[in-house]
Amino acid sequence: MMKMDWSSELNNSICTVSQLRKYADLSHDVERKLNEIIKRHPMCVTPYYMSLIDWDNPSDPIKKMAIPSLTELNLEGSYDTSGEAENTKLPGLQHKYEQTALILSTNKCATYCRYCFRKRLIGLPSKEVIKRFEDAADYIKQHEEINNVLISGGDPLVLSNEIIESFLAVLSDISHLKFI
C-alpha cells in the first residue's frame, strides 16, 4: 500500500455510497437508504480506516463507528443532546460552564463518527462554526471567569497549522487563561 500524507489521506476519503460499494456488497435498497442517511449525516472515512474494517464481521467496531447504520433513518430525539444551543454566545462560541469556553473551529473531521453528538453540524455547512475568531477572543477577554478554552469542532487538527497557530497565539495573549 502506498504511504500518503495526512492531507492526501483526507482528500481520498470515501464519502459516497458509490465509493463505499468498492468495499462492501450493498443491495440496491441498502444503497438507497444509505444515500438518504448521507444527505443528512455525511459519511467520510479515510482509506486507512477503511483498510482496518473486517467486512465479514457484522460487529466490527470500526465499521460501526464509521459506516452509516440504517438505524440513522430514525430521527426521533434531540439533535442538541448537550444543550449547546442555549449556551451559544455567538456563532462558534459556547459558554456552558463558568470557567470554560468552547470554540467550534470547524465542521470537518477525518472520519465522521456515527455516534457523534454534533451530528447536526458535522460535515454540513453550519452557522454554529466560528466565523470570526476575533469576536470569540473578545468575548473571552471580557469574561475573566473563563480560565480555559477548548478548541473543538469537528476536529480542529484537520485545520492548517497556520490557522491553529493563529488561534493559539491570540488565546495565549489573554492573561486570565490558564489552559488552551
Phi, psi of 151 (to 5 degrees): -105, 115
Name the phi and psi angles at 76, rounded to 5. Answer: -70, 155
Cell digits for 120?
Answer: 447536526
Please write the tens of the pLDDT for every residue from 84-128: 778 889 988 999 999 999 998 988 888 888 888 777 777 666 676
User: pLDDT at position 103, please?
Assistant: 93
| Residue 82 predicted with pLDDT over 90 | no
Cβ neighbourhood burial of 144 (10 Å; 0-12, 13-18, 19+) = exposed
Instruction: Please give, one letter per residue, the 3-state secondary structure of 66-124.
Output: HCCCHHHHCCCCCCCCCCHHHHEEECCEEEEECCEEEEECCCCCCCCCCCCCCCCCCCC
pLDDT-derived band at 176 (thresholds 50, 70, 90) equals very high
**Is the pLDDT reported for residue 6 higher than 80?**
no
pTM listed for this prediction: 0.78
Determine contact, residues 58/45, Cβ cutoff 8 Å: no
Q: Helix, strand, or coil here: 132? A: coil
**157 secondary structure, DSSP code:** G
Helix axes 133-142, 161-172, angle to 10 degrees: 20
User: What tens digit of pLDDT does each residue of 59-76 get?
Assistant: 999 999 999 999 888 877
Three-state DSSP string of 11-50: HCCECCHHHHCCCCCCCHHHHHHHHHHHHHCCCCECHHHH
Of 108, 105, 106, 111, give the one whose Cα is nearest residue 123: 108
pLDDT digits (tens, 9 = 90+) for 143-173: 999 999 999 888 898 888 999 999 999 999 9
Q: What is the pLDDT of residue 111?
A: 85
pLDDT score at 73: 83
CB-CB contact of 86 with 97 (8 Å): no
